[in-house]
Amino acid sequence: MKRLLSIAALMFVFVLSAPHAEAKKFGGGKSFGKSFKTAPAPKQKQQNTNTIGKQDTAKGASSKKGLMGGLLGGLLVGGLLASIFGGGGFEGIQFMDIIIMAGVAFVLFKLFRMFMASKASSINQRQGTAYAGPQASNNEQPSFRDNQQYFQGEQAQPQATGGFGVPKADEVPHNYPPGFDLQGFINGSREHYRILQGAWNHNQLETIQEYVSISLYNDLVQERANLEGEQHTDVMFVDAEVVRADHDASRAQLSLQFSGRYRDSVEGIEEAITDIWHLERDLTQPDAPWLIIGIQA
């Protein structure tokens, strides 16, 4: 009896101590290049009671579902343990007893993983519908260079206020070039995020090179070399928000914060998207693209 319990305990500890796999997202989940202080732009007070009510209802239903699932799972496992320990099943070590204990350990581990995953995903649950951005076809995938209607505003002119280094202390600038299409930029950035993740999966460095600065490209090449073969990270949904914007007569800078969910279809791992991309555009060159100069994971 004691020997069997020791074996079951060791198996349970082994399952819990198994290495945690991570989805291989673009950039490897690390920070590279330049970084800046960021903050969301001030927004006008808006209130939509219908939307808030629907979100609260959905959240409550999800919580009840998770609670019932946890209770039923606990009762199931508890009943199984009671049957094993109270039914005299351990009078002599049997191979079936070992299998049952291993099954119990596996079920407990799965319940633990489900609890942690549901806790992590609850933060982004309310945003899932809004994050489903436009999708490009496989034959026509836009890039920073050939989709300038989203990523190119009018030539910036010097201003008396704004510009690099002018904002007040501890104030994050949100100064956009004249004629800048903010909504178009955000809509396009969602698809660009998917394109770069696909290029990272398939080790298509030539595609990545079109989007990033030279120094950042060199860092990403070294990071991608640490991964063997193709990766299987899929973007489930993603949204973007401008958290910094500034410009002067020669260059413009923007910082995009992405949020959403992605998963590894092979490893079965699902995690949150929390990346920030820092982009820069040379305003002295006509039709110059926006290039990523920094990634904050």
Q: 85 and 152: one domain? A: no
* CATH number of the domain where residue 179 is located: 3.10.450.240
pLDDT value, residue 86: 57
- Range list of H helices, 29-151: 49-86, 95-121, 148-151
Q: 208 and 104: one domain? A: no
Decide: helix, strand or coil at residue 35: coil
Those residues with Cβ within 8 angstroms of residue 204's Cβ, 6 or more apart along the chain or in another chain: 198
CB 7, CB 101: distance < 8 Å: yes
Residue 49 pLDDT greater than 70, yes or no = no
Report the share of the chain in percent with pLDDT over 70: 55
Q: 114 and 169: one domain? A: no
H or E element at residue 96: helix 95-121
Decide: helix, strand or coil at residue 262: strand
Give the range with max mean pLDDT: 6-10, 60-64, 284-288.
284-288
170-216 tens-digit pLDDT: 689 999 988 899 999 999 999 999 999 999 999 999 999 999 999 99
CB 208, CB 222: distance < 8 Å: no
Within 10 A of 162 (CB to CB), how many other CB atoms are there? 17
The label of the residue with tokens 């910036």 reads 156
Q: 95 and 155: one domain? A: no
- Mean pLDDT, the chain, as a whole number? 73
Q: 88 and 209: one domain? A: no
CB 186, CB 163: distance < 8 Å: no
Q: Is 96 a member of any domain? A: yes
Q: Is 15 a member of any domain? A: yes
The angle, 0 to 180 degrees and rounded to 10, between the axes of the packed helices 2-16 and 95-121 is: 30
Q: 119 and 166: one domain? A: no
d(CA 215, CA 5): 56
Domain stop point among 127, 161, 186: 127
DSSP assignment letter at 220: H
Those residues with Cβ within 8 angstroms of residue 212's Cβ, 6 or more apart along the chain or in another chain: 220, 291, 292, 293
pLDDT value, residue 245: 96
Q: How many domains does the chain have?
A: 2
Q: Is 212 a member of any domain? A: yes
The label of the residue with tokens 């007040």 reads 168
Q: Is 42 a member of any domain? A: no
Q: Is 291 a member of any domain? A: yes
Q: 152 and 281: one domain? A: yes
- One-letter amino acid for residue 188 of the chain: G
Q: Is 44 a member of any domain? A: no
What the block records as the tokens of 225 is 């070399």
CB 213, CB 293: distance < 8 Å: yes
Q: 214 and 243: one domain? A: yes
Q: 123 and 164: one domain? A: no
Those residues with Cβ within 8 angstroms of residue 21's Cβ, 6 or more apart along the chain or in another chain: 264, 267, 269
224-243 tens-digit pLDDT: 999 988 999 999 999 999 99
pTM of the model: 0.58
Those residues with Cβ within 8 angstroms of residue 229's Cβ, 6 or more apart along the chain or in another chain: none
Q: 173 and 118: one domain? A: no
pLDDT value, residue 157: 38
Q: Is 38 a member of any domain? A: no
Residue 163 pLDDT greater than 80, yes or no = no
The range of the structural domain enclosing residue 258 comes to 148-296
Q: 244 and 163: one domain? A: yes
Domain stop point among 97, 127, 157: 127
Q: 208 and 107: one domain? A: no
d(CA 256, CA 242): 5
- One-letter amino acid for residue 126 of the chain: R
What the block records as the tokens of 268 is 């079965």
81-134 tens-digit pLDDT: 555 555 555 555 566 667 777 777 777 877 777 776 665 555 444 444 433 343
Q: Is 13 a member of any domain? A: yes
Q: Which phi and psi (to 5°) does residue 256 adopt?
A: -110, 130
